[in-house]
Chain A
Amino acid sequence: DQQVKQNSPSLSVQEGRISILNCDYTNSMFDYFLWYKKYPAEGPTFLISISSIKDKNEDGRFTVFLNKSAKHLSLHIVPSQPGDSAVYFCAMNYGGSQGNLIFGKGTKLSVKP
């Protein structure tokens, strides 16, 4: 059974608007959460992370929110730009598992000019 779910396979937004990507998980032991962006034929690029002691982390246009009680993670991109068009993966693990990241299946974001 999938421990990490990204229920929206795709998302389309207008340039300049907010993009919200969502991720749900089932394992309450997860305590470190990351977002990656991936272009075709390339490896994932790290975007932003958050540990379970926080509920929000910002880096420029990217903000990650963590709702531990709901086991829900989201990534906000404001404002969205055409160059943000890519597949976004959420990933997570628990501190003791270091290199073993569990990934969602990705959401393809398209930002229209």
Chain B
Amino acid sequence: KAGVTQTPRYLIKTRGQQVTLSCSPISGHRSVSWYQQTPGQGLQFLFEYFSETQRNKGNFPGRFSGRQFSNSRSEMNVSTLELGDSALYLCASSGGTAYTEAFFGQGTRLTVV
């Protein structure tokens, strides 16, 4: 069974640009969550999508948005990039019901210069 796939693995963008990251969940999983990992703040929850609907949202500005497609693949978009957005962005998939573990992809390393 294929795991969670995130593309691209690495990105370098300029301040003010926008970026789109992609996540393909494990087959059959309907929930996709996104997290930001930085050295100072650790792993922080961005949002979760379940059956194409945003089900939960973390405490991030509106520049961070996402969507989920009918095949459960998800994209995350960050507009008007700031230097502080440099981080490892991780996607996790799960079956979407309570008390089930989430499986993570390898992440996308975003560097904003």
Contact = CB atoms under 8 A, between A and B. Distances in A.
Contact of A32 (B35, B96, B99, B109): B99
A43 B4 contact: yes
Nearest to B4: A43
Contacts, number: 75
Contacts of A104: 42
Interface of B: 4, 6, 31-33, 35, 42-45, 48, 50, 55-56, 58, 90, 92, 94, 96-99, 101-107, 109
A45 interface: yes
Contacts of A51: 99
Nearest to A49: B101
A60 interface: no
B43 A100 contact: no
Contacts of B44: 103
SS of B interface (majority)? strand
B94 A99 contact: yes
Interface in A18-59: 32, 34, 36, 41-46, 49, 51
Main secondary structure of the interface of A (DSSP, over half): mixed
Given A51-B99, A89-B43, A98 B106 contact: no
Nearest to A6: B42
B107 A43 contact: yes
Interface of A: 32, 34, 36, 41-46, 49, 51, 89, 91, 95-106
Contacts of A41: 106-107, 109
A103 B33 CA distance: 13
A100 B58 contact: yes
Contacts of A34: 101-102
Contacts of A44: 43, 90, 104
B92 A99 contact: yes
Contacts of B99: 32, 49, 51, 95
